[in-house]
Amino acid sequence: MEKHNHALFCAVRGFLDFLFPRECPVCGRTLTLQEQFLCIECRANLPLAHFWSWPHNPLSDKFNEMIQRDLQKELGQNGGSEPPEKQDGAAAAYEPYAEGAALFFYRAPVRPGVSGGPAMDYRMITRRLKYEADLPLGRHFAKILGKHLAASALFRTVSCVIPVPLHPLRRWQRGYNQAEIIGREIAGALRVPLLCGVLRRVRRTRSQARISLDKKSLNVQGAFDVSSRKLQRFLQGQPRSGHVDSGDHSLHILLVDDVFTTGATLHACYRALRDALARLGFSPRNVRISVATLAFARTI
């Protein structure tokens, strides 16, 4: 029976491929019947980042630098006279290291081999998901990332996944949120809840892709807020871990987006969450807020 189904699937796929040839999004070559989403060459050359098994990788280091800068600023405002262990909540100079992972490197097209085949542009994977509503493609790669995260010791303690939200108007225009598509697959792989609506984008921002690196941070500052009611509802179902009285580190939130470039958007989300948790009595030193994206763009 299964053999029959497979034969039928191949016949239908073959016929559809004849009518509407499928293209590899990375190199543009027509896909064969056996190839799914990417051609065999682009799949073999996918520039995997392997960050899920690499503690203190370039992505997580970059994100933690931003967190550290915030802490230094807070310490400066508080005079910096108290040792870290004596300072409470928002003024603490220590926070658990945020883990960070991406599936592949986001880089400009490369032409493989000396003979020069078609250029491979892996940026097309996230672009197709974001601008051309290629949700199956996004889900496919998010599933691969989810599997790696589920097998990694760094992400084993994650308690929930929160996707970076779009402004309601943009979400309505697009019809979906690409970060939510990715987050859903990752939450499924980690077997934890996906929290939508906890984090909200309250201010419309210009597209981060169209502004200079140094303005990205300003562009998203204060763009997010947190629904305390929804966050509280989730926390009530959790053990009292992470609370200021409990002293352990088991509240571990994973923020998810499509691409990590400067980290400015994820950092703005992190700040909104951290402030909301502090208002609910969670000490920042007891909560880990990590990040995961499909792609990581190296910037100078």
- Residue ranges that bind Zn ion, judged by CB under 5 A: 24, 26-27, 39, 42
Smallest separation (angstroms) from Zn ion to the CB of 38: 6
> C-alpha distances in angstroms, 5 versus 1, 10, 13, 37, 59?
6, 9, 12, 21, 44
Instruction: Name the residue among 55, 70, 78, 76 with its Cα closest to residue 284.
Output: 70
Terminal CA-CA length for the chain:
56
Nearer residue to Zn ion within complex by CB, 39 or 273: 39
- Write phi, then psi, for 163 (nearest 5 degrees): -80, 150
Angle at alpha carbon of residue 168, lines to 165 and 173, rounded to 5°: 105
Residue 45 CB, nearest approach to Zn ion (Å): 8
Kindly state the smallest distance separating residue 26's Cβ from Zn ion, in Å.
Answer: 4
* Cα of 268 vs its chain's centroid, Å: 13
C-beta of 45 vs 227, nearer to Zn ion: 45
Nearest to 130 by CA among 193, 99, 173: 173
- Rounded least distance, CB 4 to Zn ion, Å: 31
How near is the Cβ of 111 to Zn ion at its closest, in Å? 12
- Helices 135-150 and 178-190, packing angle to 10 deg: 30
Residue with tokens 């630098």: 65
**Closer residue to Zn ion (CB): 28 or 96:** 28
Nearer to Zn ion, 7 or 110 (CB): 110
Quote the least distance from Cβ 103 to Zn ion, whole Å: 17
Quick one: 10 or 40, whose CB is closer to Zn ion? 40
Order of strands, sheet of 160-163, starting from the edge strand that comes earlier in the sequence: 100-106, 287-297, 251-260, 160-163
Kindly tell me which of 26 and 190 has the beta carbon lying closer to Zn ion.
26
